[in-house]
Amino acid sequence: MSVDGPSLRDIHLPSAAWWPLAPGWWVVVASIVLLVVVAAWSMRRRKRHRPLAMALQEIDVLAATFARNGDTAELADGASRLLRRVGRKVDPAIASRSGEAWRTFVQAHAHDADVRATLDGLLDARFRARPVLDAPALLAALRAWCGNALRHGKPSGKSRDGKPGNAATGEAMSI
């Protein structure tokens, strides 16, 4: 042994490579990925539910207008226009339909008999000079119908009689 002590090498520093990442960086990366996924899901959900929110807002405007002036003809006209716009959102081809095809479409998206009966009355009342309507029932039926139509979209591929076809128009499916 030498008097100066053992021969020591200098301190060995690890290379400053960026890979592999330290555990803290993995947490940051995972947090960013999670944040992006949640933001994309939230934006998609908001976009999907926006037509329903707008329809419900318009129903509230119809209710306020009716409460202010009590005009059933204006309520029937506004409700019918809203049904058409929501119908066009659900199935763009339905915009050109009228009569029994439109009635079938409306009935296909009504989830219960009360909604069907109320909206069936609306389809006839719109063209009367002084329609007789139960405004609270009509507004509740509109809310239910819009919610059902916009959440579930087009009805199934079976018509009311159970045969394959277009349930909205009652037409048989061509092969």
| Total domains present in the chain | 1
Which residues are registered as beta bridge partners of 164? 158
**Polymer length in residues for the chain:** 175
pLDDT per residue, tens digit, the chain (175 aa), is 567 778 888 888 877 777 788 889 999 999 999 999 999 999 998 887 788 888 889 989 999 999 999 888 898 889 989 988 888 888 888 877 888 888 888 888 888 888 888 888 888 777 777 888 888 998 999 999 888 888 876 654 444 444 434 444 444 323 2
Q: Is residue 83 part of a domain?
A: yes
Which residues are registered as beta bridge partners of 32? none
What's the maximum distance between 2 C-alpha atoms anywhere in the chain? 118
Does pTM surpass 0.85?
A: no
Q: Is residue 172 part of a domain?
A: no
CA separation for the pair 73, 129 (Å, rounded): 7
| Residue 75 lies in domain | 51-152
Which tokens go with 128?
Answer: 């009367």
CA separation for the pair 123, 99 (Å, rounded): 9
